[in-house]
């Protein structure tokens, strides 16, 4: 009795407002837009998915989105490892606390402002070209490299924190044992630290990968290329083709479901 009182409001809200909306959206993916009347026609079929599959443009966009998401994930893993290891195993308790705050604050601070900051830095007469100029190097400008760089920047804290937590859980005695048995730094890293940290690494990669897959504002602000999200957004807004937008939106969701299943097998969920 009491339980149902407690649960009624939150479950009612989430199931009615949210799950209901999602289900309708998923059903809408099987509707179609009448191109003459611009009305949504409720006859069911796979036509939207067929368009997605057969069109070279949409396939290229999907490949670009997934490719950059993968590149961002690898970049963040490489960048996060040294700082996470330093926090977990080298820094004293006080420095560690400060570092956690130093990583948490930018994680929570405005997404849009960070993208905007990079837009200013990357532009023609911005800070990056200015500082690379004396070295004779050109900056990346706006484009795929810029999207990769900005995404790597945005999601880095989401990789550092789970990795730090995972590395902290490795007992120091394991590292000592490896050393006593003759393991040098590289050997210990490869045979002891890396395998033990892998679930945490996969946990972090869930964020870096999925956040990149669903984004549309960063590509819009620092490149002229399209991600899945840009096509979806354009179809909801300008083209008013909700069925096609809904169909394309199922692609990142499906990729994430597969990714999550693989991540669960790697034991990543205990590290979340």
Judged by CB under 8 A, the chain residues 249 through 268 that form the site for other proteins are 249, 252-253, 256
Assess contact for 232 and 249: CB atoms under 8 A.
Answer: yes
- State how far the alpha carbon of 176 is from the alpha carbons of 33, 85, 165, 186, 197, in Å: 65, 16, 20, 14, 17
Binds other proteins by CB under 8 A, chosen from 77, 170, 214, 234: 214
Nearer to other proteins, 56 or 226 (CB): 226
Nearer to other proteins, 5 or 54 (CB): 5
Using DSSP, state whether 32 is helix, strand or coil.
Answer: strand
Binds other proteins by CB under 8 A, chosen from 31, 58, 158, 244: 158
The per-residue b/e assignment along 175-201, b for 16 or more CB within 10 angstroms, e otherwise, is: beebeeeebeeeebbeebbeebbebbb
Binds other proteins by CB under 8 A, chosen from 153, 199, 225, 244: 153
Nearer to other proteins, 56 or 182 (CB): 182
Stretch that binds other proteins, among 31-39, 51-59, 140-148, 213-221 (CB under 8 A): 213-221
Work out how close the CB of 200 gets to other proteins at its nearest, in angstroms, rounded to a whole number: 11
Interface positions, 31-90, toward other proteins (CB under 8 A): 79-80, 82-83, 85-87, 89-90
Considering only CA atoms, which of 150, 158, 159, 157 is closest in space to residue 68? Answer: 150
Interface positions, 99-128, toward other proteins (CB under 8 A): 99-114, 116-121, 123, 125-127
Determine, following the binding rule CB under 8 A, whether residue 94 of this chain makes contact with other proteins. no
Nearer to other proteins, 143 or 168 (CB): 168
Distance CA 33, CA 40 (A): 4
Number of residues that bind other proteins (CB under 8 A): 96
Nearer to other proteins, 70 or 117 (CB): 117
Work out how close the CB of 112 gets to other proteins at its nearest, in angstroms, rounded to a whole number: 5
Work out how close the CB of 144 gets to other proteins at its nearest, in angstroms, rounded to a whole number: 19
Stretch that binds other proteins, among 44-52, 139-147, 181-189, 261-269 (CB under 8 A): 181-189
Q: Look at the block and give the residue holding tokens 């002229």.
A: 224
Query: Residues 12-31 vs other proteins: string with x where CB under 8 A?
Result: -xxx-xxxxxx-xx--x---
| Residue 98 CA neighbour count, 13 Å, CB half | 6
């Amino acid at each position: 009795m009491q339980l149902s009182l407690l649960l009624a409001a939150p479950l009612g809200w989430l199931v009615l407002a949210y799950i209901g909306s999602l289900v309708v959206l998923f059903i809408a993916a099987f509707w179609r837009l009448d191109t003459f009347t611009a009305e949504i026609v409720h006859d069911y079929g796979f036509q939207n998915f067929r368009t997605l599959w057969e069109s070279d443009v949409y396939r290229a966009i999907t490949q670009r989105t997934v490719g950059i998401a993968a590149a961002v994930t690898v970049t963040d893993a490489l960048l996060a490892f040294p700082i996470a290891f330093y926090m977990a195993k080298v820094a004293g308790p006080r420095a560690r606390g400060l570092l956690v705050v130093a990583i948490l604050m930018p994680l929570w601070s405005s997404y849009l402002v960070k993208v905007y900051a990079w837009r200013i830095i990357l532009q023609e007469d911005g800070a990056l070209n200015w500082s690379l100029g004396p070295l004779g190097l050109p900056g990346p400008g706006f484009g795929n490299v810029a999207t990769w760089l900005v995404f790597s920047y945005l999601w880095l804290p989401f990789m550092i924190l789970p990795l730090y937590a995972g590395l902290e859980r490795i007992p120091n005695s394991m590292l000592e044992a490896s050393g006593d048995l003759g393991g040098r730094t590289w050997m210990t890293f490869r045979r002891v630290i890396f395998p033990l940290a892998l679930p945490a690494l996969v946990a972090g990669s869930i964020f870096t990968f999925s956040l990149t897959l669903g984004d549309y504002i960063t590509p819009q602000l620092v490149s002229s290329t399209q991600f899945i999200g840009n096509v979806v957004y354009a179809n909801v807004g300008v083209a008013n083709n909700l069925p096609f937008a809904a169909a394309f939106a199922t692609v990142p969701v499906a990729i994430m479901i597969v990714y999550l299943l693989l991540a669960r097998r790697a034991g990543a969920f205990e590290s979340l």
